Amino acid sequence: MRTTLRMRRAALVFTAIGALALTGCGDDGAGKDKPGDDAGKGKGSAPSVTLPKLDGEKISVAAVWTGPEQANFTKVLDEFEARTGATVTFVPAQDPIVNFLGTKIAGGQPPDVAMIPQVGAIQQAVAKKWAKPVGAEAKAELSKNYSKVWQDLGAVDGTQYGVYFKAANKSLIWYNTKAFENAGASEPKSWKDFLATAETVSASGVTPVSVGGADGWTLTDWFENVYLSQAGPEKYDQLAKHEIKWTDPSVKDALTTLAQLFGKPGLIAGGADGALQTEFPASVTQTFTGGDQPKGAMVFEGDFVSINIAQTEAKVGTDAKVFPFPAVGAESPVVTGGDAAVALKDSKGAQALLTWLASVDAAKIWAEAGGFISPNKSLDAAAYPNDVQRKIAEALIAAGDDVRFDMSDQAPQSFGGTPGKGEWKTLQDFLKNPKDIAGAQAKLESDAAKAYTS
């Protein structure tokens, strides 16, 4: 797999994550700004962004976030209220968010701003003429703080509509250190070593891998990481745009590789049936409860896993450690995702909120709270609460314009982002029957062809 110098630098940082985790670094705030420091220019220093006064203005923001994510985002909104005088209301949304927004708009009650987690959904919102272009102030913040790839991901036909506030590094595997130590297992670097490690952990009496198969998006992430590492970035881009079909031999190769894990139910917590009944949060918590006898010793997903680990007694960096997704080809993959703020009303308040979310100050608030990675390159990495998250964030920024965005999030939502349909459903069926690779390919292509032409 060919990589650019930037991608190689990012890969080196990812490699360092595993070594760093072995040194142990808990959530004790080590490395945070000291009083008087102006890293990130947050509280206690001059604001990094100028916002208008919005006394009395009411702004609503819709997002699919719940639990700790919603609570941490609310902290960001609270500071916006304090600086502007506006009142901001969080509106809980559901997936698929395009359908949710369509219902709100049809009822005459669209939110001022929506946090949209799919590139394809942004494009749909623009096509439906719901989205409003980003104003000059927010564009200035984007130009100052964001690499071109993150600006382009929020643009449609050259017009900026989205401000990517929250990013995700979706190429990580987290593990229970006690389970690994008892099994005599070490962090694998290749897919072959990963499977061998799984067998080693299994032999110790602990099921090695926890899979949140009830949420189809986790399975798309498994596929994307295998595919990017094995097929390479050019093929990845082509499949993401449906320029090649899902019946392509490269897809067969990736599904065959994935079947090496999915085809051994004894390596998956609860087997295929159990995984298909396990939602993502439970796939994490069951990995880090039960001491050295968890239901699963490893769980794959992004940096945001740390939020769910925080719901257990495990500590990131000691009880819970992380290594890069194992390389299937020459390099470990670097897959990212993210949530973009899109204005649905052309109001002063909506545009001010986009400007705020593109700023260093807004990013710093959630970064300090944890469970968050910002695509804002101007944010000082010292804002992150521990060295594990800091290195994950640095790797994302180091990749620059060479990151590959989540493939399913680039697809039309009917294919890549709808529970019980399209890619989500087909990969759930594949988890249950990984022998039917040809059938999975045919169904994926049939659904993709309909979605990309509708």
Range of the domain at 237: 172-333+423-453
Q: Which of 208, 158, 156, 157 is nearest to 182 (CA)?
A: 208
Q: Is the domain of 236 the same as that of 266? A: yes
Q: Is the domain of 362 the same as that of 386? A: yes
The answer on pLDDT for 364 being more than 60 is: yes
Instruction: Identify whether 440 is part of a domain.
Output: yes
Q: Is the domain of 216 the same as that of 352? A: no
129-150 pLDDT, tens digit per residue, is: 999 999 999 999 999 999 999 9
The answer on pLDDT for 170 being more than 60 is: yes
Structurally, the chain folds into a number of domains equal to 2
Q: In the numeric block, which tokens belong to residue 425?
A: 């459903």
Instruction: Identify whether 9 is part of a domain.
Output: no
Q: Once rounded to an integer, what is the mean pLDDT over residues 301-307?
A: 89
Q: Is the domain of 396 the same as that of 432? A: no
The alpha carbon dihedral of 122, 128, 130, 134 has a sign of: positive
The per-residue pLDDT for 37 is 36
Instruction: Identify whether 13 is part of a domain.
Output: no
Mean pLDDT for the chain overall: 90
Q: Is the domain of 346 the same as that of 397? A: yes
Q: In the numeric block, which tokens belong to residue 392?
A: 């994950």
- Pairwise CA distance, residues 416 & 98, whole Å: 12
172-190 pLDDT, tens digit per residue, is: 999 999 999 999 999 999 9
CATH number, residue 52: 3.40.190.10
- Pairwise CA distance, residues 324 & 334, whole Å: 9
The per-residue pLDDT for 207 is 98
Q: Is the domain of 55 the same as that of 106? A: yes
The answer on pLDDT for 96 being more than 70 is: yes
- Pairwise CA distance, residues 332 & 323, whole Å: 10
Report how many helices (DSSP H) and strands (DSSP E) the chain contains, helices first.
21, 12
425 in Cβ contact with 416 (< 8 Å)? no
Instruction: Identify whether 23 is part of a domain.
Output: no
Q: Once rounded to an integer, what is the mean pLDDT over residues 66-91?
A: 96
pTM: 0.77
Q: Is the domain of 275 the same as that of 345? A: no
Q: Is the domain of 213 the same as that of 287? A: yes
Instruction: Identify whether 284 is part of a domain.
Output: yes
The per-residue pLDDT for 233 is 92
Q: Is the domain of 208 the same as that of 297? A: yes
Instruction: Identify whether 20 is part of a domain.
Output: no
Q: List, in sequence order, the alpha helices (H) in 296-412.
A: 305-309, 348-357, 360-369, 387-399, 407-410
Q: Is the domain of 318 the same as that of 362? A: no
Q: How many residues does the chain have?
A: 454
312-361 pLDDT, tens digit per residue, is: 999 998 999 999 999 999 988 989 999 999 999 999 999 999 999 999 99
Q: Is the domain of 233 the same as that of 161? A: no
Q: Is the domain of 218 the same as that of 276? A: yes
> With bands split at pLDDT 50, 70 and 90, how would you rate the model's confidence at 10?
very low
Burial of 219 (0-12, 13-18, 19+ CB in 10 A): buried
